[in-house]
Amino acid sequence: MSKFPFAFLDEQSKKEIRRAVLKGVAIPGYQVPFASREMPIGRGWGTGGLQITLALVGQRDVLKVIDQGSDESVNAVNIKKLVQGTTGIETTIHTKEATLIQSRHRIPEVPLRSDQIMILQVPEPEPLRSVERSEFKTKQLHAEREYSGAWLLLFEQIMRYNQTSQGADYPVLVHDRYVMNPSPIPRFDNPKIHNSDALILFGAGREKKIYAVPPYTKVESLAFDDYPFEIEKFEGKACKVTGLTDVFLDELTDEQTGETYYLCNDTSFMQEYLEKRGTVHVR
């Protein structure tokens, strides 16, 4: 792969992406347009996150890639291989060892540090898109801080289901100014963005937008006065392997017995936990 420049993208492209990132950091929650190059993976498969990763990666960085909690799904492995092949940097599955963490739809269970950067892949950056199809108009609505559309969506959910049914991508208000889609992370992860020690970046390759939440920024999930925001609860449920209860759990079905059981969604966290406890190495 030596015919490619370091980190695949040419220097001009990386510079443009870094500029967009800087602007995003300067205006928390604001969607910065960027060019979005062709990538060797299809748009909508994490190209936004990948381009940010490639623009930021340096020779001493250690990369972790998560796909919905898993380090070893095809998408995560391929992205890791591409970055490693064009930079030669180390990759890891351990959240603590990583300096860059690119993720699809999860923020790790291990708390992030101020020397780490979290990069989330975003399918739809616009929180108002389902009420307003025109980009021209949504830009205006953001400029005028007119977010009734986002509130209306939640209100409609309450009317239909007597609760907000938005499981992932639950909209947040950043720094009391911009309403933002936090990418399809579960509501469980929304509080982790608030006052985070790490810089959190969002890349939408297909929609050509980059936005950011700088460290220690106020991030509030939208909620009506009498319907407070709630994260997913797993009352009476525990991870089948570790017995943990305070983590995000996946519901699975044993195909032989038809029995429902739960597992930690963050597989590397589960593995670390088991290793620390001295249990057999699970893979």
Partner 1 sequence: MFDKPILQIKNLSKQYGEGCSYCQHENAKLERNFCPVCKTVYACKNISLDLHRGEILGIVGESGSGKSTLMKCLYFDEETTTGEGFLTDYFNGNENIFTQSGQQKRFIRNSLLGMVYQNPMLGLKMDFSSISNIAEKQIAAGNRNVKQMVDRSNALLDKVNISIKRSKEPPKNFSGGMQQRVQIAKALSSNPPILLLDEVTTGLDLSVQAAVLDLIKTIQRVMQISMIVVSHDLAVIRMLADRTVVMLNGQIIEEGLTDQILEDPQHAYTQQLVYSLL
Binding-site ranges for partner 1 (CB under 8 A)? 131, 140, 143-146, 148, 151-152, 155-156, 158-160, 224-227
Q: Which is nearer to partner 1, 176 or 275 (CB)?
A: 176
Q: Which is nearer to partner 1, 138 or 267 (CB)?
A: 138
Q: Are 19 and 66 in contact (CB under 8 A)?
A: no
Q: Which is nearer to partner 1, 149 or 215 (CB)?
A: 149
CB neighbours of 149 closer than 8 A, spacing ≥ 6? 128, 131, 132, 141
The torsion angles phi and psi of 186, rounded to 5 degrees, stand at -65, 160
Three-state DSSP class for residue 150: helix
Q: Work out how close the CB of 70 gets to partner 1 at its nearest, in angstroms, rounded to a whole number.
A: 35
Q: Work out how close the CB of 204 gets to partner 1 at its nearest, in angstroms, rounded to a whole number.
A: 25
Q: Work out how close the CB of 151 gets to partner 1 at its nearest, in angstroms, rounded to a whole number.
A: 5
In whole angstroms, how far apart are CA 67 and each of 64, 74, 79, 93, 191?
A: 10, 9, 10, 12, 20
Q: Which is nearer to partner 1, 131 or 168 (CB)?
A: 131
Closest alpha carbon to 247 in 95, 37, 77? 95
Rounded CA separation 173/23 (Å): 18
Sheet architecture: strand order including 32-33: 32-33, 209-213, 199-204, 117-121, 100-104, 62-67, 90-91
Q: Which is nearer to partner 1, 143 or 280 (CB)?
A: 143
Q: Work out how close the CB of 131 gets to partner 1 at its nearest, in angstroms, rounded to a whole number.
A: 7
Q: Work out how close the CB of 219 gets to partner 1 at its nearest, in angstroms, rounded to a whole number.
A: 18
Rg of the chain's alpha carbons, rounded to an integer?
Answer: 19
Q: Work out how close the CB of 165 gets to partner 1 at its nearest, in angstroms, rounded to a whole number.
A: 13
Q: Which is nearer to partner 1, 172 or 200 (CB)?
A: 172
Q: Are 135 and 129 in contact (CB under 8 A)?
A: no
